[in-house]
Amino acid sequence: MIKLENVSKGYSEGKVLHTILSGVNLNINKGEIVILYGKSGSGKSTLLNLLAGIDLPDEGSIFFEDVNITALSEKERTLFRRKRIGFIFQFFNLIPTLTVSENLKLPLELNSMPFKKADEILGEVGLLDRINAYPDVLSGGEQQRVAIARALIHNPDFILADEPTGNLDFDTSKQIIDLIDRIVKQQGKTMIMATHSKDVMGLADRVLTLKDDKFIEMN
Ligand SMILES: Nc1ncnc2c1ncn2[C@@H]1O[C@H](COP(=O)(O)OP(=O)(O)O)[C@@H](O)[C@H]1O
Ligand SMILES: [Mg+2]
């Protein structure tokens, strides 16, 4: 379903190359929820950005089913991401000048999908009463619920999440974990989530720990 073959990525600083990921091989099955666990700076966001096609690896290939995204042009990767991937960020990344409803209509418009889906999904995340609010009047938890709605609204097969509870207090994190459990898991989506919080581990089918540029499977 998602397959990483010998993926390496580093960043150069002057003449020094810092290896972040080295020879990573991974297979993620359809419907699996995989957690990438690792301390800050270990390369979790780097890997998610490669999966999202935002960045390219230095070496290796990444397949989503039969699509090798590392062989696509930047424009093709953008189109693939827009259609097939939903991305949930730590800091929500809602557009501050757009209302909740408008933030959700943007991915619908980009995918030529009907706007009525915005109301449906806001009902699912329990935010129909905030439809005309701007992000800055919402709590962190509410903003993340909108961001989850936005990540799911175009019905992508793959959900990527980068520390989605990293900026929330314990109780709010729990609500967000429950929401992800309810929506993502029960819709059978494939999800890869980076975290350094043990609280979200219960969601996972598999936890992969990132250590010294490799993944170690935890059982
Ligand atoms: N664009 C970049 N340029 C240079 N170094 C980077 C860049 N992005 C990430 N890094 C470095 O790569 C390492 C891994 O970063 P990151 O993937 O953000 O880790 P994590 O998400 O696990 O905290 C860090 O040392 C970081 O400083
Ligand atoms: Mg990160």
Answer yes or no: are the C-beta atoms of 24 and 47 closer than 8 Å: yes
Q: Is residue 168 domain-resident?
A: yes
Handedness of CA 171, 126, 29, 106 (dihedral sign): negative
Could you tell me if the CB of 20 is within 6 A of ligand 1? yes
Q: How many domains does the chain have?
A: 1
Out of 74-88, 140-154, 166-180, pick the least confident.
166-180
Q: Sorting pLDDT into bands at 50, 70 and 90, what band is 129?
A: very high
Nearest ligand to the C-alpha atom of residue 10: 1
Kindly state if the Cβ of 195 falls inside 6 Å of ligand 1: no
- pLDDT above 70: residue 219: no
Rounded Cα–Cα distance for residues 40 and 93 (Å): 20
Q: Is residue 128 part of a domain?
A: yes
Q: What is the pLDDT of residues 130-157, one digit of tens each?
A: 999 999 999 999 999 999 999 999 999 9
**Which structural domain range is residue 159 located in?**
27-57+73-218
Confidence grade of residue 197 (pLDDT, cut at 50, 70, 90): confident
Whether residue 13 lies inside any domain: the answer is no
Task: Please report the atom of ligand 1 found closest to the CA of residue 210.
Answer: 22
17 C-beta closer than 6 A to ligand 1: no
Average pLDDT (77-93) is: 95
The atom of ligand 1 lying closest to the CA of 49 is 17
- Percent share of the chain, pLDDT over 70: 100
Residue 112 within any structural domain of the chain? yes
Residue 69 has pLDDT above 90, yes or no: yes
99-110: per-residue pLDDT in tens? Answer: 999 999 999 999
Q: What is the CATH number of the domain that holds 172?
A: 3.40.50.300
Atom 8 in ligand 1: residue holding the nearest Cα? 46
Q: Is the residue at 160 inside a domain?
A: yes
64: in domain: no
Query: Mean of the pLDDT values across residues 75-95?
Result: 95
The residue whose CA is least distant from atom 1 of ligand 1 is 11
Ligand 1 pocket residue status of 90, Cβ below 6 Å: no
Alpha helices in the chain (DSSP H): 44-51, 74-84, 100-110, 116-124, 140-152, 170-180, 186
Residue 36 lies in a domain: yes
Q: Is 151 inside any structural domain?
A: yes
For strands 2-13 and 16-28, give the pairing. Answer: antiparallel
Say what the pTM is: 0.94
